[in-house]
Amino acid sequence: MRTRPHWLLYLYCVYLLVPIYWLINLSLRDNADILGSLSALPSDPSFANYLEIFSNPVWSSGFINSLSYVAINTVISLLVALPAAYAFSRYRFVGDRHLFFWLLSNRMAPPAVFLLPFFQLYSAIGLFDTHLAVALAHCLFTVPLAVWILEGFMASIPRSLDEMARIDGHSRSFFFFRIFLPAIRGGIGVTVFFCFMFSWVELLLARTLTGSSAKPIVVVMTRTVSASGVDWGVLAAAGVLTILPGLAVVYFVRNHLVRGFALGRV
């Protein structure tokens, strides 16, 4: 129907972008300059804050740690969710609806509830302060979500495809890897997006389960008070850097996203 946006949309996008603009603005200025004067545009823009982050091991390791556990989490979630989603979409078995609901409820669990037990559990098995610990802990939320999204996409592939492959004489694994998975790559894209999105943004569990060696960027940012106070410029630069991976991911899956939303899976 309409191809041009209403003016409200422009207003809303201004609302969304102004604080981000301010973030970018501060990231390009020196801390002293920030505290000294308020200006809409940096008078002497520089990437010094970014350089500080890349060179200072505290910051750069924070980023690397975060990217590591997010990647591990995404891989584990996919590996584990694919067979489960396949089972849910293609077969009926005892207790399948109850299991599905229970899985869903895990996604909705308040992280705060799991703080204490996670801390004790992971300490007890020696996984405290590792990437794997955070990745596994995040699985609590990302795996059910992955199963749910993938099941939805798989359900839209007609069973006749399975039949045809079987009649053609292909083995089940051939069918799965060469035919089925490519057919749902939109769903895999959406899943990667949501796993990434949840794991990358989470603070509470990531903070609880890490100490100094696996400290994620989100923790570094919240604990960045030094003797001379907070370095707002570096903080802002770190903030900008944490937005970039998300932007990249959504750009790559943007077409799949709209379809994914339309299926009612969030």
Residues 11-50 that bind other proteins (CB under 8 A): 12-13, 15-20, 22-23, 26, 34-35, 38, 40
Q: Which of 51, 104, 164, 181 binds other proteins (CB under 8 A)?
A: 104
CB 209 within 8 A of CB 129: yes
Q: Which of 30, 208, 209, 214 binds other proteins (CB under 8 A)?
A: 208
CB 106 within 8 A of CB 140: yes
In the complex, the smallest distance separating the C-beta of residue 124 from other proteins, rounded to whole angstroms, is: 10
Q: Which residues pair with 161 in a beta bridge?
A: none
Q: What is the dihedral of CA 83, 88, 93, 98, to 10 degrees?
A: 120
What are the tokens at 52? 């500080």
Residues 238-257 that bind other proteins (CB under 8 A): 239, 242-243, 246-247, 249-251, 254-255, 257
In the complex, the smallest distance separating the C-beta of residue 11 from other proteins, rounded to whole angstroms, is: 9
Angle at 197 between CA 191 and CA 198, to 5 degrees: 95
Residues 163-192 that bind other proteins (CB under 8 A): none
| Segment near other proteins (CB under 8 A); pick from 56-64, 81-89, 165-173, 178-186 | 81-89
Q: Is 185 exposed, middle or buried (0-12, 13-18, 19+ CB in 10 A)?
A: exposed
| Residue number with CB closer to other proteins (99 or 157) | 99
114 near other proteins (CB under 8 A)? yes
